[in-house]
């Protein structure tokens, strides 16, 4: 169906189209410079991401405001003032044209708890979700209570070693407020922290992507080296961690612990206990927060400087630093294939 429009409406539409064409032509180069600037930042891998995810991550020390400030510094002499876009335009291009996010370490939220409280608020709570939430809360409380009890036992026994461990978010190198460094490809460094619940001592196993990845063999190697460092009086070991399957809850970590308990001269029992998913707050988290805080006080240009930052993170009872190289990593995957048969359910 055709509709008649007035001459005034026609002229207003024509003027609007003309202005849009003018703006598009005038700002085309400016928008290309915005895209070029956004794409000049190297992307980093996320701490926990799905392999099939298309999302890319920018450094944790960046945000849109900081990127826009760098954009102004970079193009203030290269572009005429009329081609410098506003922060609103810069943000619009970033948000609509790029699937980028900022790799800011955050505490994970429990998906089940979020769903429960949302459905409860909207009066759409189902009996199935209510039952699942109830069991979830029971497991959370039981795990925390069990960890507290093991901690108290370890304080009163030289034969028991109880610790939590977790992999810190990726440590980027170099790390500085110098503008040029934001555009550099960063080297990823890793820190596996193990915290002794009995005496609050802690060890940080540090390595970079030059020497190894952050896979199950690397995590298992750190645990195995920690077991070798324990005093000869230790007979029982309990590890607490989250249930991340790629790093902690897998056959290769199990192989490591089985190999250790079989060959260690004094350890008779090793328990690996997993906290309830979504509620895995541990003492290691405070370690990582302290390291992040210490990082703000210094500039890092080589991976070896992370050891200094880790030691600076606590004034008393300094964190022990154990640097790892390529030759230090044990191949527990090969050991699993050669010596153990995994029964699939």
Question: What is the full DSSP assignment across 272-333?
Answer: EEEPPTT----HHHHHHHHHHHHHTTS-B-STTHHHHHHHHT-SSSPPEEEE--GGG---HH
- Confidence band (pLDDT; 50, 70, 90) for 155? very high
Instruction: Give the number of other CB atoms < 10 A from CB of residue 248.
Output: 20
Tally of structural domains, the chain: 2
**Does 123 reside within a domain?**
no
50 pLDDT higher than 80: no
- Same domain membership, residue 162 and residue 55: no
- Confidence band (pLDDT; 50, 70, 90) for 296? confident
**Does 115 reside within a domain?**
no
**Does 125 reside within a domain?**
no
- Confidence band (pLDDT; 50, 70, 90) for 159? very high
- Same domain membership, residue 237 and residue 170: yes
**Residue 274 burial class via C-beta count within 10 angstroms: exposed 0-12, middle 13-18, buried 19 and up:** middle
pTM above 0.75, yes or no: no
**Does 286 reside within a domain?**
yes
CA 292 to CA 188: how far, in whole Å?
15
Question: What is the CA angle 124-126-127, rounded to 5?
Answer: 150
- Same domain membership, residue 95 and residue 180: no
End-to-end alpha-carbon separation of the chain, Å? 64
148 pLDDT higher than 90: yes
CATH number, domain containing residue 278: 3.30.420.10
**Does 113 reside within a domain?**
no
Question: What is the token pair recorded at 306?
Answer: 């992370």
- Same domain membership, residue 190 and residue 77: no
- Mean pLDDT within 127-155: 94
Residue 339: predicted pLDDT: 85
Q: Kindly state the DSSP code that residue 175 receives in the 8-state scheme.
A: B
- Same domain membership, residue 334 and residue 235: yes
CA 256 to CA 237: how far, in whole Å?
13
- Mean pLDDT within 293-303: 86
- Same domain membership, residue 304 and residue 255: yes
Q: Which of 186, 153, 154 is nearest to 170 (CA)?
A: 186
49 pLDDT higher than 50: no
| DSSP H or E segment with residue 31 | helix 7-39
Mean pLDDT of the chain: 85
Q: Which of 32, 8, 294 is nearest to 168 (CA)?
A: 294
- Same domain membership, residue 288 and residue 196: yes
283 pLDDT higher than 80: yes
242 pLDDT higher than 60: yes
Residue 345: predicted pLDDT: 58
Domain of 203 in residue numbering reads as 141-339
Q: Which of 82, 102, 122 is the last residue of a domain?
A: 102
Q: H helices of 40-61, where?
A: none
**Poorest-confidence range of 8-12, 64-68, 268-272, 314-318?**
8-12
Residue 171 near residue 27, CB atoms below 8 Å: no
For residues 236 and 344, the model is more confident at 236
- Same domain membership, residue 288 and residue 163: yes
**Does 295 reside within a domain?**
yes
Residue 13: predicted pLDDT: 42
- Same domain membership, residue 328 and residue 206: yes
**Does 44 reside within a domain?**
yes
Averaging pLDDT over each range in 14-23, 79-88, 181-190, 300-309, which range is the top one?
Answer: 300-309
Q: Which of 102, 131, 154 is the last residue of a domain?
A: 102
Residue 108: predicted pLDDT: 55
Q: Which of 163, 165, 161 is nearest to 267 (CA)?
A: 161
**Does 36 reside within a domain?**
yes
- Same domain membership, residue 96 and residue 195: no
- Same domain membership, residue 149 and residue 89: no
Residue 327 near residue 345, CB atoms below 8 Å: no
- Confidence band (pLDDT; 50, 70, 90) for 25? low
Q: Which of 72, 102, 132 is the last residue of a domain?
A: 102
Tell me the sheet residues that pair with 202: 195
- Same domain membership, residue 82 and residue 158: no
């Amino acid at each position: 169906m055709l509709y008649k429009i007035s001459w005034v409406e026609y002229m207003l539409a024509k003027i609007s189209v003309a202005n849009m064409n003018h703006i598009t032509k005038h700002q085309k180069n400016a928008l290309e410079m915005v895209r070029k600037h956004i794409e000049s930042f190297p992307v980093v891998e996320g701490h926990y991401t799905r392999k099939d995810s298309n999302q890319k991550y920018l450094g944790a020390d960046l945000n849109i405001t900081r990127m826009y400030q760098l954009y102004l510094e970079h193009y203030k002499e290269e572009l005429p003032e009329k081609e410098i876009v506003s922060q609103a335009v810069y943000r619009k291009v970033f948000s609509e044209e790029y699937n980028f996010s900022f790799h800011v370490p955050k505490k994970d939220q429990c998906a089940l708890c979020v769903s429960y409280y949302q459905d409860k608020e909207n009066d759409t709570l189902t009996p199935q979700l209510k039952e699942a939430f109830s069991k979830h809360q029971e497991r959370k409380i039981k795990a925390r209570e069990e960890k507290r009890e093991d901690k108290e036992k370890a304080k009163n026994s030289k034969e028991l070693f109880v610790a939590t461990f977790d992999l810190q978010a990726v440590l980027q190198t170099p790390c500085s407020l110098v503008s040029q460094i934001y555009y550099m490809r960063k080297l990823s460094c890793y820190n596996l922290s193990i915290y002794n619940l009995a005496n609050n001592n802690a060890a940080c196993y540090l390595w970079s992507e030059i020497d190894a990845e952050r896979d199950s063999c690397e995590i298992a190697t750190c645990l195995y080296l920690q077991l070798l460092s324990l005093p000869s009086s230790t007979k029982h070991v309990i590890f607490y961690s989250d249930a991340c399957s790629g790093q902690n809850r897998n056959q290769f970590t199990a192989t490591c612990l089985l190999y250790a308990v079989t060959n260690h001269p004094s350890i008779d029992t090793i328990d690996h206990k997993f906290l309830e998913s979504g509620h895995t707050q541990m003492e290691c988290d405070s370690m990582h927060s302290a390291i992040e805080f210490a990082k703000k006080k210094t500039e890092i240009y080589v991976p070896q400087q992370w050891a200094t930052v880790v030691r600076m993170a606590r004034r008393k009872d300094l964190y022990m630093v154990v640097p790892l190289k390529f030759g230090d990593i044990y191949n527990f995957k090969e050991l699993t294939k050669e010596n153990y048969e995994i029964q699939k359910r």
